[in-house]
Chains A and B, each alone.
Chain A
Amino acid sequence: MSRFDEPDYYKKEELVQIQPKPPRTPWMETPVDFRPGTYIYPGKAKNLKVLDLPNPRDWAVTDVDWQLPEGWQKTILEGMADRLKRFRSFKLFMDICVRCGACADKCHFFIGSGDPKNMPVLRAELLRSVYRKDFTALGKVFGKLAGGRELTVDVLKEWFYYFYQCTECRRCSVFCPYGIDTAEITMMGRELLGLLGLYVNWVIEPVANCFRTGNHLGITPHGLADTLEFMTEDIEEATGIKIDVPINKKGAEILFFTPSGDYVAAPGIYTCMSYMLLFNELGVDYTWSTYASDGGNFGLFTSHEAMKRLNAKVYAEAKRLGVKWIMGGECGHMWRVVNQYMDTMNGPADFLEVPKSPVTGTVFENARSTKAVHIMEFMSDVIRHGKLKLDPSRNDHIRVTFHDSCNPARAMGILEEPRYVIRHACNHFYEMPENTIREQTFCCGGGAGLGTDENMEMRLRGGMPRGNAVRYVQEKYGVNQLAAMCAIDRATLPTVCDYWAPGVQVTGISELVANATVFKGEKRRTHNLRLEPIPGMATEDEESEADLVGAGAPGEGQGGMGHE
């Protein structure tokens, strides 16, 4: 018997029975239902203490009494007043919504659950109703008639449930005629909840870890050195190339940072191995850092302050190591932070130089101030200049589609660079339907700190639109791999794909590139970086041997689909 935190527990036929009609009771009178599988466990006291956050205590979401601090209503209302004075986005988005409903069926959680409070407009109304009651003239005079409502414990519980059922993916803000961005609303909602010590552990533990050890997983410096060292052994086995891993190296030209998810779990580790292989091949003088060992920043999912506290390490480490500029790996929300917050929060980075590719001499003008370049900007430039010898036929057994990750798409607009790289690394690239890619891309359902197993039902529901689009290209073109440049995607999309489009594996883009690269001094390449035999490259003996070994779950996809 499977449990509510396992995908098998949910029958597909039941999950797609989505009630298209809203309930009979008005939304203000429909209380929240904490059903296992749809909410996330609260933040543990020890993690709050590491970060000096208020009201640390151990509690359960299903408790009637959430042990709120004395005078909590006042704390929230003052917190709102304070943020209304500091963020124009918040003030404006509280005021200008006309409830046209254009955002409603743009949210993956609404599409997958049918719960009206997952319509972005209602998610915002949860806050707006309190705002109207206490901060607007009409609300003060007309109260409920003007859409205002009292701040009660039930309202607070509703906030907790629904602000942790939003992945801050910003898809709704693409469609909103006023650009109202639910990510801003959710961020404010979470900040306000945080004032009372209401966090989810899946977010706040990584933040506490990252604060102390430099990465969300709490990997110690020597642990990270071991991990990377271990990867070089697999690299050598696959390619015959022995590489050095520069760590905390002073005077290196480039500080490289990437999400820590890629240090430990497949398929992210293959992406991480690929970075090292490709930098080695291109002769890039770079260094890893153990202190700034995470590009990801769960502070973004906590509060602006937490984001700044974690992000501060990047520039501090760049300064300490004396690098010239910074390069960031394949990650989603990390690039939201780097592209839209880092320079403002912790800059100016006037001690660094304007990034210039040591391989091609290209100056990255668009990163002139932040001094941080995306690996896909770097790689597409390298490939454009013909500095990598690529043999895409080594990826001929792969039929790949590309999942635009929310933040790189909607908080940056890095759309063509990854596609250019994929097209040069693979011969078989197929796009998903246009309403599901680029700026209209769908979230994996597990971003913004929701990718934990106890939230499995919502992850599967939220992942349905993406899974459905993957399924479409799987059936139409035989797609068997989905490339994504985001570590959360690489952690959560395997579950989504296994469920909605079984047989499709998840990969990073750099992994595709490394597998297609003809390295100087490589041995005969019979196995890819996953140490799976490459069809057409391995001898029959090697292939059948590997089939026996690899008869488990990941191998099924390869066997089932897309062989030519």
Chain B
Amino acid sequence: MNVLISLLVVACLLIVGMFGATIAPQWIFAVALPYVAVAVFAIGLAVRVMKWAGVPVPFRIPTTCGQQRSLPWIRQQKLENPSNKLQVLGRMALEVLFFRSLARNTKTELRKERGLVYGTDLFLWIGALAMHWALAVVLIRHLRLFTDPVPAFVTFTEKADGFLEIGLPPVNVTTVVLLCALLYLLYRRLANARVRYISLPEDYFALFLLLGIAGSGAWMRHISHTDVAGVKELALSLVHFSPMVPTGISPLFFGHLFLVCVLLMYFPLGKLVHGPGVFLSPTRNMANNNRAVRHVNPWDYPVKVHTYEEYEDEFREKMIAAGLPVDKE
């Protein structure tokens, strides 16, 4: 049910994008919407992040995943249990670039004879890493459309990506990886009963949206070619704030563009904010040095305590009888 709704929504969005551009005035889909989408994305994300950043971190609560810094002869695991900012930076880099925590993933099984057994389970890690890195490369490749002259690193990335030299234009490895990774993540969400049980429509929506974008992109490159020169003309005109819509761009491109715009606008609202969010995660971005450097809680307030005087008042006689020292005889 959740799956079908999400699939249907994304399919409808694609169709709206493809044919909307032919029915409605082109500037709506080609010019106004991209501008709005980018603005919503940038402002929405900034607001979201600022909202998080505006909430204080009252306590220092890192999850420690290795040996602490203590005595000089005990070897600290600096990247798993950092004790200063530089080490935290290292831990965060591992987390953000290589999904360190996901790489720990295990699966647990209860077997009749042996009881519980644990095995390494790296599929999710590989799938997630492949998806994110491929997406990053795809985005870099797209810079070609927004720049003139095209920077060397973009050309280089593109060359490297197409090193297999299959087809014309050559098939980019990241296109294949991205599509496969997305399909695997979708498959996992559907095939694993547990994950299916916890999934919300949004979880499928995000996957279908990305699949729609990547699929339509690949289709345009390899199956029904669109006028790339025209697309670049449009992209550059948007970048230079002198929008101009060339004729002859295929409807599929507008479908692709429309889905991208939806993604941009949805990004700051939904679960995709995990990207910027991970940078702010207090269990990961804090040093475990609370005993060495005092952490201050900005909203700390006095609480009602039971003072020693009150305590002694209640027990004084018995304390004296037991030979325990007291403050007031």
Interface residues of A (CB under 8 A from B): 16, 18, 20-22, 26-27, 52, 84-89, 91-92, 95-102, 104-106, 111, 116, 119, 121-122, 125, 136-138, 145-147, 170, 173-181, 184, 211-214, 220-222, 225-226, 247-250, 290-291, 304-305, 308-309, 312-313, 316-317, 320, 338-341, 343-345, 347-348, 362, 364-370, 372, 377, 380-381, 384, 409-417, 420, 433, 435-436, 438-440, 464-465, 468-469, 471-472
Contact = CB atoms under 8 A, between A and B. Distances in A.
A95 B277 contact: yes
B168 interface: no
Chain A to chain B: the 4 pairs with minimum beta-carbon distance, closest first: A413-B68, A222-B322, A96-B277, A413-B64
Contact of B115 (A119, A313, A345, A468): A468
Interface of B: 5, 48, 51-52, 55-61, 63-71, 73-75, 77, 80-81, 83, 95, 99, 101-102, 104-108, 110, 115-116, 118, 124, 128, 192-195, 197-203, 269-271, 273-274, 277-278, 280-284, 288-297, 299-300, 303-308, 311-312, 314-315, 318-319, 321-325, 327
A138 B203 CA distance: 13
Contact of B318 (A220, A341, A435): A220
Contact of B294 (A116, A308, A343): A343
A86 B295 contact: no
A100 B194 contact: no
A291 B321 CA distance: 17
14 contacts: A88-B57, A89-B283, A92-B282, A96-B273, A98-B203, A111-B116, A125-B198, A147-B202, A177-B101, A312-B303, A369-B294, A411-B64, A464-B116, A469-B116
Contact of B70 (A22, A138, A366): A366
Give the residue among A98, A362, A377, A410 with the most B Cβ atoms within 10 A: A98
Contact of A225 (B74, B273, B299, B324): B324
B289 A366 contact: yes
Contacts of B81: 413
Given A145-B201, A313-B305, A468 B325 contact: no
Given A345-B300, A439-B65, A101 B55 contact: no
B307 A368 contact: no
B63 A170 contact: yes
B105 A175 contact: yes
Contacts, number: 308
Contacts of A26: 197
B202 A146 contact: yes
Contacts of A16: 110
B66 A99 contact: no
Contacts of B295: 343-344
A43 B59 CA distance: 27
Contact of A99 (B57, B198, B306): B198
Nearest to A214: B311
A313 B305 CA distance: 8
Contact of B198 (A89, A122, A249, A308): A122
A211 B314 CA distance: 13
A291 B194 contact: no
B194 A221 contact: no
A411 B63 contact: yes
A439 B64 contact: yes
A110 to B, nearest CB: 9
B128 A177 contact: yes
Given A88-B52, A98-B203, A99-B203, A250 B288 contact: no
A344 B59 contact: yes
Nearest to A177: B102
A415 B69 contact: no
Contacts of A214: 311
A180 B303 contact: no
Contacts of B290: 339-340, 343-344, 369-370
A222 B319 contact: yes
Given A177-B128, A317-B308, A464-B116, A97 B271 contact: yes
Contacts of B52: 88, 91-92, 95
Contacts of B281: 92, 96, 178-180
Given A250-B325, A416-B74, 20 more contacts: A18-B110, A87-B55, A89-B61, A96-B273, A99-B199, A100-B102, A125-B198, A145-B5, A146-B202, A147-B202, A170-B63, A177-B278, A221-B322, A222-B318, A309-B304, A345-B300, A367-B292, A384-B73, A409-B64, A413-B66
Given A221-B322, A433-B118, A369 B292 contact: yes
Contacts of A469: 116
A290 B198 contact: no
Contact of B101 (A176, A222, A435, A465): A176
Given A101-B192, A214-B311, A347-B294, A435 B63 contact: no
Main SS class of interface, A: helix
Given A211-B306, A368-B291, A415-B67, A22 B55 contact: no
B329 to A, nearest CB: 14
A174 B63 contact: yes
A341 B59 contact: yes
A247 B269 CA distance: 59
A435 B118 contact: yes
A100 to B, nearest CB: 6
Contacts of B64: 409-413, 439
A313 B65 CA distance: 30
A99 B63 contact: no
Given A86-B299, A89-B57, A435 B106 contact: yes
Contact of B193 (A21, A95, A147, A176): A21
Contact of A410 (B65, B102, B107, B319): B65
B59 A412 contact: no
Nearest to B53: A88
Contacts of B300: 344-345
A490 B308 CA distance: 30
B2 to A, nearest CB: 9
A16 to B, nearest CB: 7
Nearest to B61: A340
Contacts of A341: 59
B194 A101 contact: yes
Nearest to A469: B116
Contacts of B77: 413
Contacts of B63: 170, 173-174, 179, 181, 410-411
Contacts of A88: 52, 55-57, 280, 282
Nearest to B316: A221
A503 B63 CA distance: 34
A396 to B, nearest CB: 27
Contacts of A472: 115
B293 A369 contact: yes
A476 to B, nearest CB: 12
A372 to B, nearest CB: 7
B324 A345 contact: no
B67 A366 contact: no
Contacts of B128: 100, 177
A466 to B, nearest CB: 10
A181 B293 CA distance: 23
A547 B74 CA distance: 42
A181 B192 CA distance: 23
Given A98-B271, A179-B281, A222 B291 contact: no
A372 B99 contact: no
Contacts of B99: 177
Contacts of A347: 294
Nearest to B284: A179
Nearest to A17: B110
